[in-house]
Amino acid sequence: MEPRISSFIGKRAYLIPCLFLAASMFSVYQANAQDVRSSELLDYYMKSRSLRLSNRISRAAQYRLTYRAPEGIPSKNDSLRAWIDEIQYEELKASLPPVLETFSVQSWDVISRLRAASFRDQFARTQWAFTGSNSRAPLDTMKTADLRARFESEFGPPTMTLAEIGYPDSLAKEQIIEFEYWFVLNDSINVIVMDVNGPWDRGMVLAADRGFRSELKVIKNTFLEQLVLDSERKPFTDYYFNYDQQAWYLTGYDGASFFDERIVRPDLELGRPAIRHSEQGSPQEDDSVDINQ
């Protein structure tokens, strides 16, 4: 009996180390399998998050991805392209009409009151373009009454005043014109310089044939700038209708000072008022005269 037991133990004794080895290998396999599953789970999470972020960015940019401008690679063809561009530029330049010379006033003719009837139809047919006193140039910031006195010295009395234009009582404010000077420049260009806001305002409005619309500022500056450079003034007296007050004034320059005198509604059929002259001597040459006093 004892030999059989010994034989059984001897045959199976070698199984014990094998069992321990198998148990150890199974533990290692389980650990490796867990590591593999953890790595795959992390990789899946990162891919999922990247996809989610890309979708969010795409929706925010309305599915338009930002791009960078292409960067050119230096090449010998660059000089060839520049040569072709220069040829095309010269061809385009040659096809354009020649540049006109800067407009200049060669001659001017002021239309007096007595000649106005002869030019009335010519000026009535003119399609006008206007430029107002919308700059800080001296010509646009000077008192209108001061400019009127300078016009009197340079060009004589206006072509039209309220005595010829008529009563403005029934007109809208923007339709009232206090006086007008009519000119013909360079023997063909009709021009009107007018006061539309009264002697207490600044600057004047210039109108010319709309065919010379682009030259309005040039005409105004080159033609009328002489009035700013020359400080000489000449006495004048005009009727002035103040729309806001609905009142009439006798306004002007007497050779020494500017004046405004409120009057009753005048009889325009009697013509222009008599010019008032000062007994104090020569006209003032100070541009800062306060015409409201």
Buried b / exposed e over 67-93, threshold 16 CB at 10 Å, is eeeeeeeeeeeeeeeeeeeeeeeeeee
Does 260 score more than 70 pLDDT? Answer: yes
Best-predicted range by mean pLDDT (43-47, 231-235, 263-267): 263-267
What ranges in 116-249 are assigned the alpha helix state H?
116-124, 138-141, 144-155, 162-165, 216-229
Residue type, 283: P
- Kind and range of the H or E element at 81? helix 77-95
10 Å CB burial of residue 192 (0-12, 13-18, 19+) is buried
Strand partners, 190: 184
CB-based contact 143:202 (threshold 8 Å): yes
3-class SS of residue 16: helix
Quickly state the pLDDT bin for 93 (edges 50, 70, 90): low
Higher pLDDT, 257 or 17: 257
Backbone conformation region of residue 274, classed left if phi is above 0, alpha if psi is from -120 to 50, else beta: beta
Amino acid symbol at 61: A
What pLDDT sits at residue 181? 96
Q: What is the mean pLDDT of residues 109-137?
A: 89
- Select the more confidently predicted residue: 14 or 201: 201
Among candidate residues 238, 235, 233, the one with its CA nearest the CA of residue 249: 238
Mean pLDDT of 82-96: 70
Task: Please say if the pLDDT value at position 13 is more than 90.
Answer: no
**Averaged pLDDT, 271-291:** 63
24-28, 181-185, 227-231, 259-263: segment of lowest average pLDDT: 24-28
pLDDT at 216: 87
**DSSP one-letter code for 100:** P
CB of 241 within 8 A of CB of 217? no
Decide if pLDDT at 130 tops 80: yes
Q: Give the tens place of pLDDT for each residue, 199-237.
A: 999 989 999 999 888 888 888 888 888 777 777 999 999
Distance CA 206, CA 217 (A): 9
Q: Which of 37-41, 58-62, 210-214, 256-260 has the highest mean pLDDT?
A: 256-260
Which is more confident, 104 or 281? Answer: 104
State how far the Cα of 123 lies from the Cα of 176, in Å rounded to an integer: 18
Alpha-carbon 176 to chain mean position? 29
Tell whether pTM > 0.85. no
DSSP string across 242-275: ETTTTEEEEEEE-SS-EEEEEEPPP-GGG-SPPP
Check whether 9 has a pLDDT greater than 60: no
Instruction: Identify residue 24 by its one-letter amino acid code.
Output: S
Mean pLDDT estimate for the chain = 78
Radius of gyration of the chain (CA): 48
Where along the chain do its domains lie? 2-60, 108-270
